[in-house]
Structure 1
Amino acid sequence: MDARQPRFEQRLDNLEAGQKELNQLTKAIIHRQEMTDAKLEALTLDVHKIYGMMVSFQASKERQDKILEMLSLRSLEQEGEIRDLRRAIYAKSDLS
C-alpha cells in the first residue's frame, strides 16, 4: 500500500491541476460570453436606432411624394390655363 501512495498522490496532483485548468477555462468562457452578450446588446440597440431612422425617412419620403404630386397637378393646371389664355389672345388678335 505504501508503494502505491506516491502514484495516488501523483494522480491526485494531476487531477487537481486538471481541475484548476478547467476552472480557468470555464471562467474565460464565461467572461467571453459576457463580452459577447454586451456586444450583441449594443448591436441590437444600433439596429433599433437604424430601424427608427428608416421609418422616419420613409414617412418623409411619403410626404415629399405627396407634395411632388400636388405640384405636378398644379403645374398641369397652370399649363392648361396658359394654353387657354394664349388661345384667347390669338382669337382676339385674329378678330382685330
Structure 2
Amino acid sequence: MDQRLDIILDKLNSLESGQIELNKKLEVMKSGQDELYQIVRAIRDRQEETDAKLDALSMDVHHAHGEIAGVKDAVKELREGVIFVNRKVADTEYEVNLLKQRKQ
C-alpha cells in the first residue's frame, strides 16, 4: 500500500512540476502576446497618423488644383484682352495709314 501511495505521490509531483512548467510557458506566451499587442497598437497609431497626413496632402492638392484652374481662367482672360488690344492697335494703325495717304 505504501508503494502505491509513493507511486501516486510521484505522479502527483510529476503533474505538479509539469503544471509549473506549463505556467512558466504560459507566462512567456502572455508576455509575447503583450509585446505583439503593443507593436500592433503602435503600427495602428502610425497608420492613423499617416492617414491624417495623406488626407492633409489630398486637401492641399485639391486646393492647388482649384488655384491652378483660377490662374488658367485669368490667363485666358488676359490673352483675350491682349488680342483685343492688338486688334485695336492694328485698326488704329490702319486708320493712321489711311489718314497719311489722304494727306499726301
Asked if these proteins are the same fold (TM beyond 0.5), I'd say yes
1:3 deviation in Å?
2.7
Shift of 1:64: 0.4
Structure 2 gaps of 5+ residues are 1-14
> Which structure's CA Rg is the greater one?
2
Distance in 1 of aligned mates of 2:79 and 2:89: 15
Identify unmatched segments of 5+ residues in structure 1. Answer: 91-96
Q: How many residues matched?
A: 90
Question: 1:44 aligned to 49, 55, 58, which one?
Answer: 58
4+ runs deviating over 2 angstroms: none
> Structure 2 residue aligned with 1:6, among 20, 34, 41?
20
Alignment-derived partner of residue 86 in structure 1: 100
Residue 9 of structure 1 aligns with an amino acid whose one-letter code is N
Q: For 1:79 and 1:6, how far apart are their aligned partners in 2?
A: 107
Structure 2 length normalisation: TM-score? 0.82
Deviation at 1:5, TM superposition (A): 2.2
RMSD of aligned Cα (Å): 0.9
**Could you tell me the TM-score, scaled by structure 1's length?**
0.88
